[in-house]
Structure 1
Protein backbone atom coordinates (compact mmCIF):
# COMPACT_ATOMS: atom_id res chain seq x y z
CA UNK A 1 0.00 0.00 0.00
CA UNK A 2 1.31 3.44 -0.94
CA UNK A 3 1.56 6.48 1.29
CA UNK A 4 0.45 9.54 -0.71
CA UNK A 5 -2.89 9.66 1.10
CA UNK A 6 -1.75 8.33 4.47
CA UNK A 7 -3.79 9.89 7.25
CA UNK A 8 -6.35 11.30 4.80
CA UNK A 9 -10.06 10.51 4.74
CA UNK A 10 -11.78 10.29 1.37
CA UNK A 11 -15.60 10.45 1.21
CA UNK A 12 -17.07 9.11 -2.05
CA UNK A 13 -20.73 9.31 -3.01
CA UNK A 14 -21.97 6.45 -5.17
CA UNK A 15 -18.84 4.59 -4.14
CA UNK A 16 -20.03 0.99 -4.27
CA UNK A 17 -19.75 0.31 -8.00
CA UNK A 18 -18.35 1.56 -11.28
CA UNK A 19 -16.23 4.71 -11.22
CA UNK A 20 -16.86 5.35 -7.52
CA UNK A 21 -15.70 1.87 -6.55
CA UNK A 22 -12.57 2.20 -8.69
CA UNK A 23 -11.69 5.54 -7.07
CA UNK A 24 -12.32 4.07 -3.62
CA UNK A 25 -9.91 1.18 -4.23
CA UNK A 26 -7.26 3.46 -5.76
CA UNK A 27 -7.36 5.74 -2.72
CA UNK A 28 -7.29 2.78 -0.34
CA UNK A 29 -4.20 1.33 -2.02
CA UNK A 30 -2.51 4.69 -1.48
CA UNK A 31 -3.12 4.90 2.23
CA UNK A 32 -6.46 6.67 2.64
CA UNK A 33 -9.31 5.82 4.94
CA UNK A 34 -12.25 5.53 2.56
CA UNK A 35 -15.93 6.14 3.13
CA UNK A 36 -18.39 4.96 0.49
CA UNK A 37 -21.87 6.45 0.69
CA UNK A 38 -24.68 4.90 -1.32
CA UNK A 39 -28.12 3.40 -0.93
CA UNK A 40 -26.65 -0.08 -0.32
CA UNK A 41 -23.24 0.90 1.03
CA UNK A 42 -23.53 -0.84 4.40
CA UNK A 43 -23.56 -4.27 2.76
CA UNK A 44 -21.34 -3.47 -0.20
CA UNK A 45 -18.45 -5.78 -1.07
CA UNK A 46 -16.21 -2.78 -1.77
CA UNK A 47 -15.87 -2.20 1.99
CA UNK A 48 -14.29 -5.65 2.36
CA UNK A 49 -12.13 -5.01 -0.72
CA UNK A 50 -10.81 -1.79 0.82
CA UNK A 51 -10.05 -3.53 4.10
CA UNK A 52 -8.32 -6.34 2.22
CA UNK A 53 -5.62 -3.93 0.98
CA UNK A 54 -4.98 -2.79 4.54
CA UNK A 55 -6.98 0.44 4.58
CA UNK A 56 -9.73 1.56 6.89
CA UNK A 57 -13.19 1.58 5.36
CA UNK A 58 -16.72 2.63 6.20
CA UNK A 59 -19.87 1.94 4.23
CA UNK A 60 -22.66 4.40 4.93
CA UNK A 61 -26.18 3.80 3.68
CA UNK A 62 -27.29 7.10 2.24
CA UNK A 63 -30.02 8.24 -0.14
CA UNK A 64 -28.44 11.20 -1.95
CA UNK A 65 -31.90 12.73 -2.42
CA UNK A 66 -32.34 13.10 1.33
CA UNK A 67 -30.58 15.94 3.16
CA UNK A 68 -30.86 14.18 6.50
CA UNK A 69 -29.15 11.06 5.11
CA UNK A 70 -26.24 13.05 3.70
CA UNK A 71 -25.81 15.06 6.90
CA UNK A 72 -25.85 11.85 8.96
CA UNK A 73 -23.30 10.21 6.64
CA UNK A 74 -20.90 13.13 7.04
CA UNK A 75 -21.35 13.12 10.81
CA UNK A 76 -20.77 9.36 10.99
CA UNK A 77 -17.59 9.75 8.94
CA UNK A 78 -16.22 12.39 11.29
CA UNK A 79 -17.07 10.29 14.35
CA UNK A 80 -15.23 7.33 12.81
CA UNK A 81 -12.19 9.03 11.26
CA UNK A 82 -12.08 12.53 12.78
CA UNK A 83 -12.15 14.53 9.56
CA UNK A 84 -12.78 14.65 5.82
CA UNK A 85 -9.94 15.64 3.50
CA UNK A 86 -11.38 14.73 0.10
CA UNK A 87 -14.95 14.73 -1.17
CA UNK A 88 -15.67 12.93 -4.43
CA UNK A 89 -19.13 13.76 -5.77
CA UNK A 90 -19.66 10.76 -8.00
CA UNK A 91 -23.27 9.69 -7.35
CA UNK A 92 -25.47 10.33 -10.34
CA UNK A 93 -28.40 8.99 -12.28
CA UNK A 94 -29.27 9.42 -15.93
CA UNK A 95 -32.57 9.44 -17.77
CA UNK A 96 -31.93 9.94 -21.46
CA UNK A 97 -35.22 11.49 -22.57
CA UNK A 98 -36.31 14.80 -24.04
CA UNK A 99 -38.59 17.33 -22.38
CA UNK A 100 -41.82 16.00 -23.86
CA UNK A 101 -41.13 12.38 -22.92
CA UNK A 102 -39.64 12.67 -19.46
CA UNK A 103 -41.87 12.21 -16.43
CA UNK A 104 -41.59 14.83 -13.72
CA UNK A 105 -40.64 12.09 -11.27
CA UNK A 106 -37.67 11.28 -13.51
CA UNK A 107 -36.73 14.95 -13.79
CA UNK A 108 -36.95 15.32 -10.01
CA UNK A 109 -34.75 12.26 -9.52
CA UNK A 110 -31.94 13.78 -11.59
CA UNK A 111 -32.34 17.26 -10.12
CA UNK A 112 -32.41 15.96 -6.55
CA UNK A 113 -29.68 13.35 -6.85
CA UNK A 114 -27.26 14.81 -9.39
CA UNK A 115 -27.43 18.51 -8.59
CA UNK A 116 -28.96 18.97 -5.16
CA UNK A 117 -27.32 15.83 -3.74
CA UNK A 118 -23.84 16.99 -4.77
CA UNK A 119 -24.48 20.46 -3.34
CA UNK A 120 -25.75 19.01 -0.05
CA UNK A 121 -22.67 16.80 0.32
CA UNK A 122 -20.46 19.86 -0.19
CA UNK A 123 -22.44 21.94 2.30
CA UNK A 124 -22.04 19.45 5.14
CA UNK A 125 -18.45 18.40 4.31
CA UNK A 126 -17.09 21.96 4.02
CA UNK A 127 -16.50 22.65 7.74
CA UNK A 128 -14.12 19.67 7.80
CA UNK A 129 -12.55 20.24 4.40
CA UNK A 130 -11.68 23.80 5.45
CA UNK A 131 -9.63 22.42 8.34
CA UNK A 132 -7.62 20.01 6.20
CA UNK A 133 -4.09 20.94 5.09
CA UNK A 134 -4.68 19.73 1.52
CA UNK A 135 -8.38 19.38 0.83
CA UNK A 136 -10.05 18.59 -2.47
CA UNK A 137 -13.54 18.41 -3.88
CA UNK A 138 -13.82 16.43 -7.11
CA UNK A 139 -17.08 16.36 -9.04
CA UNK A 140 -17.65 13.78 -11.77
CA UNK A 141 -19.26 15.89 -14.48
CA UNK A 142 -18.44 17.55 -17.82
CA UNK A 143 -17.48 21.12 -18.58
CA UNK A 144 -20.63 23.27 -19.00
CA UNK A 145 -20.92 24.43 -22.61
CA UNK A 146 -23.36 26.73 -24.38
CA UNK A 147 -23.43 24.54 -27.46
CA UNK A 148 -26.75 23.45 -28.93
CA UNK A 149 -25.55 19.93 -29.74
CA UNK A 150 -25.41 18.99 -26.06
CA UNK A 151 -29.01 20.11 -25.48
CA UNK A 152 -30.71 18.85 -28.64
CA UNK A 153 -31.02 15.39 -27.09
CA UNK A 154 -31.47 14.45 -23.44
CA UNK A 155 -31.76 18.09 -22.39
CA UNK A 156 -32.92 17.44 -18.77
CA UNK A 157 -29.90 15.20 -18.09
CA UNK A 158 -27.54 17.73 -19.68
CA UNK A 159 -28.99 20.46 -17.45
CA UNK A 160 -28.34 18.43 -14.31
CA UNK A 161 -24.75 17.56 -15.21
CA UNK A 162 -23.83 21.06 -16.38
CA UNK A 163 -25.28 22.43 -13.14
CA UNK A 164 -22.85 20.20 -11.25
CA UNK A 165 -20.02 21.72 -13.29
CA UNK A 166 -21.14 25.26 -12.53
CA UNK A 167 -21.27 24.38 -8.83
CA UNK A 168 -17.75 22.94 -8.91
CA UNK A 169 -16.33 25.98 -10.70
CA UNK A 170 -18.11 28.35 -8.36
CA UNK A 171 -16.76 26.51 -5.34
CA UNK A 172 -13.20 26.93 -6.61
CA UNK A 173 -13.68 30.70 -6.29
CA UNK A 174 -15.73 30.64 -3.12
CA UNK A 175 -13.41 28.32 -1.20
CA UNK A 176 -10.07 29.65 -2.44
CA UNK A 177 -9.60 31.64 0.77
CA UNK A 178 -9.78 28.39 2.74
CA UNK A 179 -7.39 26.47 0.49
CA UNK A 180 -10.08 24.00 -0.56
CA UNK A 181 -9.66 22.92 -4.18
CA UNK A 182 -12.63 22.17 -6.43
CA UNK A 183 -12.23 20.46 -9.81
CA UNK A 184 -14.25 18.28 -12.15
CA UNK A 185 -13.33 15.12 -14.02
CA UNK A 186 -14.98 13.58 -17.07
CA UNK A 187 -14.05 10.65 -19.31
CA UNK A 188 -13.02 11.04 -22.94
CA UNK A 189 -14.53 7.64 -23.74
CA UNK A 190 -17.55 5.87 -22.33
CA UNK A 191 -16.77 3.83 -19.21
CA UNK A 192 -17.78 0.21 -18.68
CA UNK A 193 -20.23 0.54 -15.78
CA UNK A 194 -23.74 -0.62 -14.89
CA UNK A 195 -24.97 2.86 -15.81
CA UNK A 196 -23.59 2.50 -19.32
CA UNK A 197 -25.32 -0.83 -19.73
CA UNK A 198 -28.60 0.73 -18.60
CA UNK A 199 -28.49 3.63 -21.08
CA UNK A 200 -29.58 1.44 -23.97
CA UNK A 201 -27.19 2.90 -26.58
CA UNK A 202 -25.26 0.16 -28.40
CA UNK A 203 -22.76 2.64 -29.88
CA UNK A 204 -21.75 3.88 -26.43
CA UNK A 205 -21.32 0.31 -25.16
CA UNK A 206 -19.25 -1.15 -27.99
CA UNK A 207 -15.69 -0.19 -27.01
CA UNK A 208 -15.61 1.52 -23.60
CA UNK A 209 -12.73 1.82 -21.18
CA UNK A 210 -12.47 0.39 -17.67
CA UNK A 211 -13.33 2.58 -14.64
CA UNK A 212 -9.67 2.38 -13.58
CA UNK A 213 -8.76 5.16 -16.03
CA UNK A 214 -11.03 7.53 -14.12
CA UNK A 215 -9.66 6.30 -10.80
CA UNK A 216 -6.05 6.91 -11.85
CA UNK A 217 -6.91 10.40 -13.11
CA UNK A 218 -8.90 11.21 -9.96
CA UNK A 219 -6.01 10.07 -7.78
CA UNK A 220 -3.59 12.35 -9.61
CA UNK A 221 -5.91 15.35 -9.12
CA UNK A 222 -6.52 14.86 -5.41
CA UNK A 223 -2.80 14.30 -4.82
CA UNK A 224 -1.94 17.80 -6.05
CA UNK A 225 -1.35 20.89 -3.93
CA UNK A 226 -4.89 22.18 -3.34
CA UNK A 227 -3.70 25.79 -3.41
CA UNK A 228 -2.40 25.36 -6.97
CA UNK A 229 -4.83 22.92 -8.57
CA UNK A 230 -8.39 24.23 -8.54
CA UNK A 231 -11.07 25.44 -10.93
CA UNK A 232 -10.19 22.94 -13.67
CA UNK A 233 -12.41 20.87 -15.93
CA UNK A 234 -10.29 17.76 -16.39
CA UNK A 235 -10.55 14.94 -18.97
CA UNK A 236 -9.19 11.58 -17.82
CA UNK A 237 -6.88 10.80 -20.75
CA UNK A 238 -5.49 14.34 -20.84
CA UNK A 239 -4.68 14.18 -17.12
CA UNK A 240 -2.86 10.89 -17.48
CA UNK A 241 -0.96 11.76 -20.66
CA UNK A 242 0.29 14.97 -19.04
CA UNK A 243 1.21 12.93 -15.96
CA UNK A 244 3.41 10.69 -18.11
CA UNK A 245 1.24 7.61 -18.57
CA UNK A 246 2.04 5.87 -21.87
CA UNK A 247 0.17 2.55 -21.68
CA UNK A 248 -3.49 3.24 -22.37
CA UNK A 249 -4.32 -0.25 -23.64
CA UNK A 250 -4.45 -1.31 -19.99
CA UNK A 251 -7.70 0.63 -19.72
CA UNK A 252 -9.51 -1.03 -22.64
CA UNK A 253 -12.61 -2.94 -21.58
CA UNK A 254 -12.41 -4.86 -24.87
CA UNK A 255 -8.95 -6.35 -25.33
CA UNK A 256 -7.29 -5.37 -28.57
CA UNK A 257 -9.55 -2.39 -29.30
CA UNK A 258 -7.75 0.28 -31.30
CA UNK A 259 -7.73 3.81 -29.95
CA UNK A 260 -9.69 4.96 -33.00
CA UNK A 261 -12.44 2.44 -32.20
CA UNK A 262 -13.06 3.53 -28.62
CA UNK A 263 -16.60 4.70 -27.89
CA UNK A 264 -16.43 8.46 -27.37
CA UNK A 265 -18.29 10.18 -24.60
CA UNK A 266 -20.81 12.76 -25.83
CA UNK A 267 -19.94 15.79 -23.66
CA UNK A 268 -16.28 16.56 -24.41
CA UNK A 269 -15.69 20.22 -25.24
CA UNK A 270 -14.03 21.12 -28.58
CA UNK A 271 -10.96 22.65 -26.91
CA UNK A 272 -10.55 19.54 -24.75
CA UNK A 273 -10.71 17.37 -27.87
CA UNK A 274 -8.14 19.56 -29.61
CA UNK A 275 -5.77 19.36 -26.65
CA UNK A 276 -6.02 15.58 -26.49
CA UNK A 277 -5.38 15.18 -30.21
CA UNK A 278 -2.20 17.27 -29.86
CA UNK A 279 -1.04 15.16 -26.90
CA UNK A 280 -1.65 11.97 -28.88
CA UNK A 281 0.23 13.41 -31.83
CA UNK A 282 3.20 14.27 -29.61
CA UNK A 283 3.11 10.71 -28.26
CA UNK A 284 3.07 9.30 -31.78
CA UNK A 285 -0.40 7.84 -31.39
CA UNK A 286 -2.65 7.61 -34.45
CA UNK A 287 -6.14 8.84 -33.59
Structure 2
Protein backbone atom coordinates (compact mmCIF):
# COMPACT_ATOMS: atom_id res chain seq x y z
CA UNK A 1 0.00 0.00 0.00
CA UNK A 2 2.97 2.30 0.39
CA UNK A 3 3.18 4.81 -2.40
CA UNK A 4 -0.48 4.50 -3.44
CA UNK A 5 -2.64 7.57 -3.91
CA UNK A 6 -5.01 7.20 -0.95
CA UNK A 7 -4.36 3.91 0.88
CA UNK A 8 -6.90 2.78 3.47
CA UNK A 9 -7.45 -0.26 5.65
CA UNK A 10 -11.01 -0.54 6.92
CA UNK A 11 -11.82 -3.09 9.62
CA UNK A 12 -15.44 -3.93 10.34
CA UNK A 13 -15.35 -3.96 14.12
CA UNK A 14 -17.07 -2.09 16.98
CA UNK A 15 -15.89 0.79 19.13
CA UNK A 16 -14.21 -0.19 22.38
CA UNK A 17 -16.59 0.07 25.31
CA UNK A 18 -15.35 -0.82 28.79
CA UNK A 19 -18.57 -0.53 30.77
CA UNK A 20 -19.50 -3.95 32.25
CA UNK A 21 -22.48 -4.54 29.94
CA UNK A 22 -20.18 -4.44 26.88
CA UNK A 23 -17.75 -7.03 28.23
CA UNK A 24 -19.89 -10.08 27.50
CA UNK A 25 -20.21 -12.49 25.90
CA UNK A 26 -16.52 -12.67 26.72
CA UNK A 27 -15.20 -14.69 23.79
CA UNK A 28 -17.13 -12.63 21.23
CA UNK A 29 -16.09 -9.37 22.93
CA UNK A 30 -12.42 -10.41 22.89
CA UNK A 31 -12.56 -11.22 19.19
CA UNK A 32 -14.32 -7.98 18.22
CA UNK A 33 -12.32 -5.70 20.50
CA UNK A 34 -9.13 -7.44 19.38
CA UNK A 35 -9.95 -6.53 15.79
CA UNK A 36 -10.54 -2.91 16.79
CA UNK A 37 -7.33 -2.67 18.81
CA UNK A 38 -5.38 -4.21 15.94
CA UNK A 39 -6.82 -1.67 13.47
CA UNK A 40 -6.02 1.24 15.78
CA UNK A 41 -2.50 -0.08 16.37
CA UNK A 42 -1.95 -0.41 12.62
CA UNK A 43 -3.10 3.20 12.24
CA UNK A 44 -0.28 4.32 14.49
CA UNK A 45 2.29 2.04 12.86
CA UNK A 46 1.43 3.22 9.35
CA UNK A 47 0.60 6.87 10.08
CA UNK A 48 4.00 8.15 8.88
CA UNK A 49 3.58 6.18 5.64
CA UNK A 50 0.26 7.94 4.97
CA UNK A 51 -1.75 4.70 5.20
CA UNK A 52 -5.06 5.04 7.03
CA UNK A 53 -6.55 2.37 9.28
CA UNK A 54 -10.00 2.82 10.77
CA UNK A 55 -12.87 0.70 12.08
CA UNK A 56 -16.50 0.90 11.02
CA UNK A 57 -19.59 -0.47 12.73
CA UNK A 58 -23.35 0.17 12.48
CA UNK A 59 -25.42 1.69 15.27
CA UNK A 60 -28.41 -0.42 14.33
CA UNK A 61 -29.09 -3.93 13.15
CA UNK A 62 -28.22 -4.39 9.50
CA UNK A 63 -30.32 -6.79 7.45
CA UNK A 64 -28.08 -9.85 7.16
CA UNK A 65 -28.51 -13.61 7.30
CA UNK A 66 -27.33 -13.53 10.94
CA UNK A 67 -30.07 -11.08 11.88
CA UNK A 68 -32.64 -13.17 10.00
CA UNK A 69 -31.50 -16.55 11.30
CA UNK A 70 -30.13 -15.83 14.78
CA UNK A 71 -31.63 -12.63 16.11
CA UNK A 72 -35.32 -12.88 15.42
CA UNK A 73 -36.34 -13.68 11.86
CA UNK A 74 -38.67 -11.34 10.01
CA UNK A 75 -39.36 -9.26 13.12
CA UNK A 76 -35.65 -8.47 13.56
CA UNK A 77 -35.28 -7.81 9.83
CA UNK A 78 -38.11 -5.25 10.04
CA UNK A 79 -36.12 -3.43 12.75
CA UNK A 80 -32.94 -3.36 10.67
CA UNK A 81 -31.35 -1.06 8.17
CA UNK A 82 -30.49 -2.07 4.63
CA UNK A 83 -26.90 -3.25 4.01
CA UNK A 84 -26.40 -0.10 1.93
CA UNK A 85 -25.94 1.83 5.20
CA UNK A 86 -22.65 -0.05 5.67
CA UNK A 87 -21.59 0.16 2.02
CA UNK A 88 -22.26 3.89 1.73
CA UNK A 89 -20.47 4.61 5.01
CA UNK A 90 -17.47 2.51 3.93
CA UNK A 91 -17.29 4.44 0.67
CA UNK A 92 -17.39 7.73 2.57
CA UNK A 93 -14.52 6.59 4.82
CA UNK A 94 -12.41 5.37 1.89
CA UNK A 95 -12.91 8.69 0.09
CA UNK A 96 -11.33 10.61 2.98
CA UNK A 97 -7.66 11.67 2.80
CA UNK A 98 -5.68 8.76 4.23
CA UNK A 99 -2.98 10.97 5.72
CA UNK A 100 -5.40 12.70 8.08
CA UNK A 101 -8.40 10.37 8.45
CA UNK A 102 -6.90 7.52 10.45
CA UNK A 103 -7.02 5.90 13.87
CA UNK A 104 -10.77 6.24 14.31
CA UNK A 105 -13.52 3.92 15.51
CA UNK A 106 -16.47 5.03 13.43
CA UNK A 107 -20.18 4.29 13.37
CA UNK A 108 -21.91 4.09 9.99
CA UNK A 109 -24.62 6.61 10.76
CA UNK A 110 -22.14 9.19 12.10
CA UNK A 111 -19.99 8.84 8.98
CA UNK A 112 -23.00 9.33 6.71
CA UNK A 113 -24.18 12.43 8.56
CA UNK A 114 -20.65 13.83 8.43
CA UNK A 115 -20.66 13.15 4.68
CA UNK A 116 -23.82 15.21 4.24
CA UNK A 117 -26.58 12.60 4.34
CA UNK A 118 -29.53 14.35 5.93
CA UNK A 119 -32.05 11.50 6.22
CA UNK A 120 -30.92 8.13 7.53
CA UNK A 121 -34.44 6.74 7.26
CA UNK A 122 -33.75 5.95 3.58
CA UNK A 123 -31.76 3.01 4.93
CA UNK A 124 -34.58 1.58 7.06
CA UNK A 125 -35.89 -1.78 5.82
CA UNK A 126 -39.34 -0.78 7.05
CA UNK A 127 -39.93 2.99 7.03
CA UNK A 128 -40.81 4.33 10.45
CA UNK A 129 -39.90 1.13 12.28
CA UNK A 130 -38.40 1.07 15.75
CA UNK A 131 -34.81 0.22 14.85
CA UNK A 132 -32.98 -2.48 16.76
CA UNK A 133 -29.68 -1.47 18.29
CA UNK A 134 -26.52 -3.29 17.44
CA UNK A 135 -24.97 -5.23 20.31
CA UNK A 136 -22.17 -2.66 20.80
CA UNK A 137 -24.03 0.67 20.87
CA UNK A 138 -26.63 2.31 23.05
CA UNK A 139 -28.59 4.64 20.76
CA UNK A 140 -29.94 4.08 17.22
CA UNK A 141 -28.98 7.51 15.90
CA UNK A 142 -26.37 10.12 16.73
CA UNK A 143 -27.37 12.70 19.36
CA UNK A 144 -29.61 15.38 17.90
CA UNK A 145 -30.53 13.40 14.75
CA UNK A 146 -34.15 13.44 13.61
CA UNK A 147 -35.42 11.78 10.44
CA UNK A 148 -37.06 13.90 7.77
Q: Per-residue CA shift, 1:157-206, capped at 9, x if unaligned?
A: 11101100000100110001111000000001000011222323467444
Match of 2:19 among 135, 147, 155: 147
Aligned alpha-carbon RMSD (Å): 2.0
Deviating above 3 A after TM superposition, structure 1's stretches of 4 or more consecutive aligned residues are 200-206
Whether the 8 Å CA contact 1:184–1:233 is kept in 2: the answer is yes
Specify which of 211, 214, 221 is matched with residue 86 of structure 2.
214
Separation in structure 1 between the aligned mates of residue 21 and residue 78 of structure 2, nearest angstrom: 22
Q: Is the 8 A contact 1:139 1:164 kept in 2?
A: yes
Which residue of structure 1 lines up, in the alignment, with residue 69 of structure 2? 198
User: In structure 1, what is the Cα distance between the partners aligned to 2:67 and 2:2?
Assistant: 35
2: CA distance, partners of 1:232 / 1:213: 18
Aligned equivalents of 1:198, 1:180: Cα separation in 2: 37
* 8 Å CA contact retained: 2:78, 2:125: no
Normalising to structure 2: TM-score of the pair?
A: 0.89
Question: How far 1:143 moved relative to its partner?
Answer: 1.0
Between 1 and 2, higher relative CO (CA 8 Å, sep ≥ 6) is seen in 2
User: What is the number of equivalent residue pairs in this alignment?
Assistant: 146
- Asked which structure has the greater CA Rg, the reply is 1
Offset of residue 243 of structure 1: 1.4
In structure 2, the residue matched to 1:262 is: 131
1:168 maps to 2:34: no
Q: Secondary structure at the match of 1:253?
A: coil
Say which structure is richer in helix: 1
- Structure 2: runs of 5+ lacking an equivalent: none
* Residue 276 (structure 1) aligned to one of 129, 142, 147: 142
Quick one: which of 79, 93, 111 aligns to 1:239? 111
Deviation at 1:148, TM superposition (A): 1.2
Unaligned runs of 5+ in 1: 1-128
Q: Residues 86-127 of structure 1, C-alpha deviation per residue, up to 9 Å, x if partnerless?
A: xxxxxxxxxxxxxxxxxxxxxxxxxxxxxxxxxxxxxxxxxx
Task: Write the distance in 2 (CA, Å) between the matches of 1:197 and 1:158.
Answer: 21
Contact 2:77 2:125 in 1 (8 A): no
Question: Which TM-score applies when normalising by structure 1?
Answer: 0.47
Contact 2:67–2:76 (8 Å) recurs in 1? yes
